Chain A
Amino acid sequence: EDKVVQSPLSLVVHEGDTVTLNCSYEVTNFRSLLWYKQEKKAPTFLFMLTSSGIEKKSGRLSSILDKKELFSILNITATQTGDSAVYLCAVEKIGRSGGSNYKLTFGKGTLLTVNP
């Protein structure tokens, strides 16, 4: 059975801190790993990672995938109160023609609270 485990489950930091969120997975026919941010509404897409060792960056957020050790990390530097949210990690498998099989398996998420 496919499995995605995120750690920690929750984290409380002060503004300006740097945080690292972890996601490990066990899935056959792995295609990609995705990170989402969820506030009190729909998850919003952050990153899609398919290749090992290549860092993706967007402002203060960055993420990297290790396909050999089967994990990914999401880093947030200089955290702000607006970063408070649940961060979700999901994996998808290879479907027909090498693309996605269109079924995401999610971890339980990490609840990040950034205090002023």
Chain B
Amino acid sequence: KAGVTQTPRYLIKTRGQQVTLSCSPISGHRSVSWYQQTPGQGLQFLFEYFSETQRNKGNFPGRFSGRQFSNSRSEMNVSTLELGDSALYLCASRGTSHDEQYFGPGTRLTVT
């Protein structure tokens, strides 16, 4: 079974631009969660999608948004990028609520 995949793996953007990251979950998994990882704050929950609906949201500004498609693939968008948005963005998928989450390799975003 293929794991969680994320594209692109690395990205460099300029302040003020916007970015879209993509995540394909493990086949059959309908829940996709997004996390931001920085050296200062560690891993922080962004949001979770299930069957194209956002069910949970973390404490991030509205510049961070996401969506999920009918095939469970998910995208995350960050608008008006700031230097502090530089981070590793991790996506995780899950089968049922009694299973563990499986993480993808992450997208390393650098904002200059």
- Residues of A within 8 Å of B56, CB to CB, are 101-103
Q: Are B103 and A43 in touch, CB under 8 angstroms?
A: yes
Say if the beta carbon of A52 comes within 8 Å of chain B.
no
Instruction: Report which residue of B43, B96, B102 has the largest number of chain A beta carbons within 10 angstroms of its beta carbon.
Output: B43
Which of B48, B103, B104 sits near A103, CB closer than 8 Å?
Answer: B48
| Contact between chains at A42 and B103 (CB < 8 Å) | yes
B97: nearest chain-A partner, CB-CB: A99
Question: How many contacts between A and B, using CB within 8 angstroms?
Answer: 56
Q: Using Cβ atoms and an 8 Å threshold, which residues of chain A touch B106?
A: 41-42
Q: Are A106 and B50 neighbours in the complex by a CB distance under 8 Å?
A: no
Binary interface profile of A, 14-51, with partner B (CB < 8 Å = 1, else 0)? 00000000000000000000101000011111001000
Interface size on A, residues (CB 8 A): 23
Question: Which of B31, B50, B58, B100 neighbours the largest number of chain A CB atoms within 10 Å of its CB?
Answer: B100
Distance in Å: Cβ of A100 to nearest Cβ of chain B:
4
Docked complex Cα distance between A102 and B94 (Å)? 9
Total chain B interface residues with beta-carbon distance under 8 A: 25
Residues of B within 8 A of A48 (CB): 100
Q: Do residues B97 and A95 form an inter-chain contact, with CB atoms below 8 A?
A: yes
Q: Is B26 located at the chain interface by the 8 A CB criterion?
A: no
- How far is it, in angstroms, between the C-alpha of A29 and the C-alpha of B56 when the chains are bound? 16
* Residues from chain B with Cβ under 8 Å of A100 in the complex: 94, 97-98
Using A41-B106, A102-B50 as known contacts, list a sample of 7 further A-B pairs with CB atoms less than 8 Å apart, ordered by residue number in A: A34-B100, A42-B4, A44-B103, A88-B43, A99-B98, A100-B94, A107-B42
Binding site for A on B (CB under 8 A): 4, 31, 33, 35, 42-45, 48, 50, 55-56, 58, 90, 94, 96-98, 100-106
Q: Which 8 A-B residue pairs are closest in the complex by CB-CB distance?
A: A99-B97, A42-B103, A106-B43, A100-B97, A108-B42, A102-B48, A103-B56, A45-B100
